[in-house]
Structure 1
Amino acid sequence: MKDLAIIILNYNSFEDTSREVNSLLQQKCYNKSIYIVDNNSTDKGKIEQLGLEKNINFIISDKNGGYAYGNNLAIKQAIKDGKKFFLLLNPDIDIDVVTIEVLYNDLQRKTEIGIIGPRICYRNHKNLIYSDGGLLHPEEGFQGEHVHFNRNISDVKTDHYNYDIDYVDGSVFMFRKEVLDEIGLMNEKFFMYYEESEWCLRVLRKTQWKLVVNTNITAYNVYSEKGSFYEYYMTRNRIWLCRLYDGDIKYVQKERWKLARKAFKRRDFSLAKAYLKGIIDGVYSKL
């Protein structure tokens, strides 16, 4: 898999990033397949030291431009290095090299697939599904939905390859260079959340490539609590997606306004402000 770039985006997550890198190297992953990007975090010195010690690729960004910006930096460098396949990994993901090989081989064998991911379960509850791919509902303001979310593996019957999805979760996301050649890189304006969703919608609407999740293989993530930062970008970016792809903006506005009122009544002013600012910026900012 020497033409594969494994990209890990770091932002103050050195413990997870170094754990993931060490795990890959211990499983005999080719060191020059690994690219770490530090998004101008306090970890930048540690990331540089890790890169030099492990002889892996590393990029130290001079700004925090968000998920798409950081990953795009590595993708562009990997293309210069001759890479033809790309795997985006969140630092908190646990994944075996064997699983990566299966995804890579799927792209080799199934030439109609542009983007692929594994089933994702929880690290602390390995029989509980987080995602078998994602669905988007434009009539609900592009509300997202994880297929089989929080269902036990034993209770789910699904095809080996699930094609009935609108996006592959961005925490474990493999694709081929030809997709980039047709639709370009991820939209950096989104900063956080819905970048992979927008990119997948572009693929589905503007190309013939297919998206799929291989449910016979699994990666594992960690659930994290959400706050005002998350809610602002989820609100704004859903509205942006509606503006780009004819979703129901009024649905998002109504839903988020109700949540803002509830937060205000609880005197959670930071959260209420995040909803309201997300609505305003989503509607009026330039795309």
Structure 2
Amino acid sequence: MTIERRDDRHRPATDGLDATAIVVTYNSRDHVTPCLAALTRAGVLARVVDNASTDGTGALIAAHFPGVSMVLNPVNMGFAAAVNQALSAVDTDIVLLVNPDCVLPEPTAHALVHTLRTHPDVGVVGPRLMDAEGRIAISAHPFESLTSLLASRFGGGLVPVSVRRLLCGENRRRTYDACRQVDTPVTVDWLSGACLAVRTELLRQLGGLDEQYFMYYEDEELCLRAWRHGARVLHLPTVHATHLGGASSNDPAWLWPHLYRSLLRFFSRHRHRSYPAARAAVLLRSLIGIGLSLVRMPWNSGIARSRACAWARVARIALTASVRQ
């Protein structure tokens, strides 16, 4: 049974902003307070969908943010499905998708909304993202390809940064440099779903977020479909939001299977010719990961076991994935 709580007596004054932020939580107690406090200061109406948290996230929000509309799901429905739940009740023309570990300053919220209202050709816009130490995080990307998959998934300690940068291609290098160095709006392929603004009408015309993605890649899918619908995607580096990361879980045995399942789903839909190679690459990467985890087991058994379990699940996904997802 889904439980919804709303108290419009405490609805914040929007001061002309008139936008709705959708925040999906899952065991986000340690991060969600700064997120919702910032949205309140910005005069943004927040709608929270909690995906069956067990850490008291819902109780904390109810106690400290009585003006926030909240849905409490009895099971974890995934990010996309939770966003669509909240979207059905949105009555503003702009939706802000904000992760519970993301702090959106008031000037940034206003800039995102203003951009959509003054640029009718833009359907999705996102700010520059910063980490907790104030470093610029890469939040704009070209659409995934087999080359970028190989460069990123075989990255880290397996391939030097200089080689990965060479392999990623000119378009990806140009986009990443724009995230770090450019201070003017830049049209990009897709933006991180940690913080972005979307026209409500566009999101509804697209059928909401694609619920076939439990988590990961739903933001890339959204932007790809927005482009195909004739709407531009814009990166706005003149304003920023702080993305702390890790609000839900850091367990690779839970996260990585969702990541790679979504990756393969994206390739099966949009990269048909390279899908078999993508499956093979994911399988190879998982086998390498299992091997490295076993080698490291004597020195750091807990982390190594978790990683070995995660890679084993990813290998199973690569082996059993259908030709079309």
What is the TM-score normalised by the length of structure 2?
0.75
What SS does the aligned partner of 1:104 have? helix
Contact 2:185 2:236 in 1 (8 A): yes
**Matching of residue 227 in structure 1 with residue 252 in structure 2:** yes
For 1:79-118, list aligned pairs within 5 A.
82-118=91-127
> Once the 2 structures are TM-superposed, how far is the Cα of residue 107 of structure 1 from its aligned partner?
0.5
Shift of 1:197: 0.9
Separation (CA, whole Å) in 1 of partners of 2:76 and 2:195: 21
Q: Partners in 2 of 1:4 and 1:138 — Cα distance?
A: 34
- Note closer, same or farther for the CA distance 1:97–1:204 as it changes in structure 2 (3 Å cut): same
Aligned to 2:280: 254
Is residue 176 of structure 2 the alignment partner of residue 137 of structure 1?
no
Q: Deviations over 1:47-100 (max 9, x none)?
A: 56237x53221111222111101111111111xxx2211001111112201110
Q: 1:177 to 1:23 in 2, by over 3 A?
A: closer
Distance 1:113 1:135, change over 3 A: same
Distance 2:216 2:82 in 1: 13
Q: Which residue of 2 aligns with 1:217?
A: 239
1:194, CA displacement in angstroms? 0.5
CA distance in 1, matches of 2:175, 2:320: 30
Cα RMSD for the two superposed structures: 2.7
Contact 2:46–2:68 (CA under 8 A) maintained in structure 1: yes
Q: What are structure 1's unaligned runs of at least 5 residues?
A: none
**1:158 and 2:173 equivalent?**
no
Q: CA deviation at 1:171?
A: 0.3
Equivalent-residue separation in structure 1 for 2:17 and 2:71 (angstroms): 19
1:69 corresponds in structure 2 to: 81
How far, CA to CA, are the matches of 1:278 and 1:115 in structure 2? 32
How many Å apart are 1:218 and its aligned residue?
A: 0.8
In the TM superposition, structure 1's runs of 4+ consecutive aligned residues that sit over 3 Å from their partners are 139-153, 223-226
**What is the CA-CA distance between 1:159 and the residue it aligns to?**
5.5
2:191 to 168, 175, 182: 168
Q: Contact 1:39/1:61 (CA < 8 Å) preserved in 2?
A: yes
Which amino acid is 2:80 matched to?
A
Q: Please report the TM-score for the alignment, with normalisation by the length of structure 1.
A: 0.84
Q: Identify if the C-alpha distance between structure 1 residues 49 and 159 changes in structure 2 by more than 3 Å, giving closer, same or farther.
A: closer
The aligned amino acid for 1:54 is: P
Amino acid at match of 1:218: H
Question: Counterpart in 1 of 2:22?
Answer: 7
What is the CA distance between 1:135 and its match in structure 2? 1.7
User: Number of aligned pairs?
Assistant: 273
The 8 Å contact of residues 232 and 277 in structure 1, kept in 2 or not, is answered as: no
Q: CA deviation at 1:249?
A: 1.3
In 2, the alpha carbon distance for the partners of 1:275 and 1:173 equals 29
Contact 1:37 / 1:61 at 8 angstroms: preserved in 2? yes
2:43 alignment partner in structure 1: 29
Looking at structure 1, the residues matched to 42 and 136 of structure 2 have their Cα atoms a distance apart, in angstroms, of 28
CA contact (8 A) 2:101 2:245 kept: no
Task: Report how far residue 44 of structure 1 moved.
Answer: 5.5
Distance 1:281 1:18, change over 3 A: farther
Would the alpha carbon gap of residues 273 and 187 (structure 1) be closer, same or farther in structure 2, given more than 3 Å must change?
same
Aligned with 1:18: secondary structure?
Answer: helix
Q: Distance in 2 between matches of 1:28 and 1:244?
A: 38
Task: Report the CA distance between 1:149 and its aligned residue.
Answer: 9.1
| Deviation (angstroms), 1:178 | 2.4
Listed as ranges, the matches of 1:195-214 within 5 Å are: 195-205=218-228, 207-214=229-236
CA distance in 1, matches of 2:234, 2:178: 20
> Secondary structure of 1:137's match?
coil
Higher Rg: 2
Q: Match for 1:88: what amino acid?
A: L
Task: Give the 3-state SS of the residue equivalent to 2:104 in structure 1.
Answer: coil
Q: Are 1:198 and 1:241, in contact at CA under 8 Å, matched by a contact in 2?
A: yes
Q: Aligned to 1:217, what secondary structure does the other structure show?
A: strand
Structure 2 unpaired stretches of 5+ = 1-15, 153-167, 295-304
Question: Secondary structure at the residue paired with 2:315?
Answer: helix
